[in-house]
Amino acid sequence: MTLTTTDGRTLRLALTERVGSVLAVPEETVETVLTALFARGHVLIEGIPGVGKTLLARTIARCLGASFRRIQFTNDLLPSDVVGSVVWRPKREEFEFVRGPLFTNVVLADEINRTSPRTLSCMLEAMERGTVSVDDRTLPLADPFFVLATRNGVEFHGTYPMPEAALDRFLLRVELGYPTPEQEVALYLGDDPEQRLQAIEPVLDLEGLREALACVARVELRPPLAAYCHRLVAATRGSPAFALGASPRAALLWLRAARARAFLHGRDYVLPDDLQALLVPVLAHRTFLVGGSDPADALRRIAAEVAVEL
């Protein structure tokens, strides 16, 4: 398989169609999740229970022919339960490292805010570097490595607040809500989602995904687009509405996501539309308003006020 940037649009449409055949998720939500995947980032999915967050992660893994593991985060979960542990083998008289569920391509970190900061810290290294530390060794994880984490935004009993450093490890944040009335009625009348999941065929394999990731890295970012990105993030830092504006790292991640979106739309160059479409998913969980309210509307106002000037 030899992919080019023009194949990105075909991949997006095929993956969106396969996901939509299993569960009712808005196409823009699927595209946002795919953008994180092709940008080598990770996604934080928020929403009420029972709307298909776990099924979405499993469906994406199956569409990629990728290995999948689900980790249910709880208060008593230990780092060794996630990373793995060293076990003594008496017959061989040696220690053996038994890999944990983190050693896979697609990880669903379910209710990630229910675990302790100690266990969360091992996830941060994995998401940042694609490695884990065990004793004095650093072990690589699978390539590609993609984390979809869920956070229940309704019930907070027994949860821990997510620190800014943890939120920053997620390239994008999306919210998954109820399906439309028509989609929900169709869900009641249709086949079991598990049967539909088992019936779908992969859109591409892991080697094809790696080729696609290489294509994304070659998407061109022209200097006027970089300057436009800087004006937008600088506006968040200078606005009195923001207690914390967007950092240079946030801008770099935003541009990486924009390259992935351009690829998924069949282009080898970034447009202002790519940055604007990803403004809230990338920056809303990295910026904070005075008073602590959701910065999404404030970000949109800034985007409306800052000229493109290409």
Do 155 and 233 belong together in one domain? no
Half-sphere exposure in the Cβ direction for 112 (13 Å, CA): 28
Tell whether 127 is covered by a domain.
Answer: yes
pLDDT, position 154: 63
Do 67 and 18 belong together in one domain? yes
Closest CA to 82 of 96, 106, 102: 102
Question: Six-digit token pair at 189?
Answer: 């009348």
Tell whether 85 is covered by a domain.
Answer: no
Instruction: Note whether 296 and 287 are within 8 A (CB).
Output: no
pLDDT, position 194: 84
**Mean pLDDT in runs of 10 for the chain (310 residues)?**
79 94 90 96 89 90 94 91 88 85 94 88 90 86 94 69 86 88 81 86 92 95 96 95 93 97 96 96 94 89 88
Q: How far is CA 273 from CA 161, 307, 308, in A?
A: 33, 13, 10
Tell whether 268 is covered by a domain.
Answer: yes
Do 234 and 203 belong together in one domain? no
pTM given for the model = 0.92
Closest CA to 54 of 115, 95, 110, 98: 110
In this structure, the chain runs to a length of: 310
Cα–Cα distance measured from residue 197 to residue 186, given in angstroms and rounded to the nearest whole number? 16
Cα–Cα distance measured from residue 213 to residue 159, given in angstroms and rounded to the nearest whole number? 35
Q: Which of 159, 178, 212 is the last residue of a domain?
A: 212
Closest CA to 265 of 9, 6, 72, 59: 9
Do 188 and 144 belong together in one domain? yes
Backbone angles phi, psi at 173, to 5 degrees: -125, 130
CATH code at position 157: 3.40.50.300
User: Based on C-alpha coordinates, what's the Rg of the chain?
Assistant: 20
pLDDT, position 269: 96
pLDDT, position 156: 63
Question: Measured between alpha carbons, how far apart are the two ends of the chain, in Å?
Answer: 36
Q: Which of 151, 185, 212 is the last residue of a domain?
A: 212
Tell whether 230 is covered by a domain.
Answer: yes
Cα–Cα distance measured from residue 118 to residue 115, given in angstroms and rounded to the nearest whole number? 8
Cα–Cα distance measured from residue 130 to residue 127, given in angstroms and rounded to the nearest whole number? 6
Q: Which of 176, 191, 212 is the last residue of a domain?
A: 212
If DSSP codes are grouped into helix, strand and coil, which group holds residue 229?
Answer: helix
Instruction: Note whether 131 and 139 are within 8 A (CB).
Output: yes
Domain that includes residue 259, residue range: 219-305
Q: What is the DSSP letter of 269?
A: B
Do 68 and 187 belong together in one domain? yes
pLDDT, position 181: 85
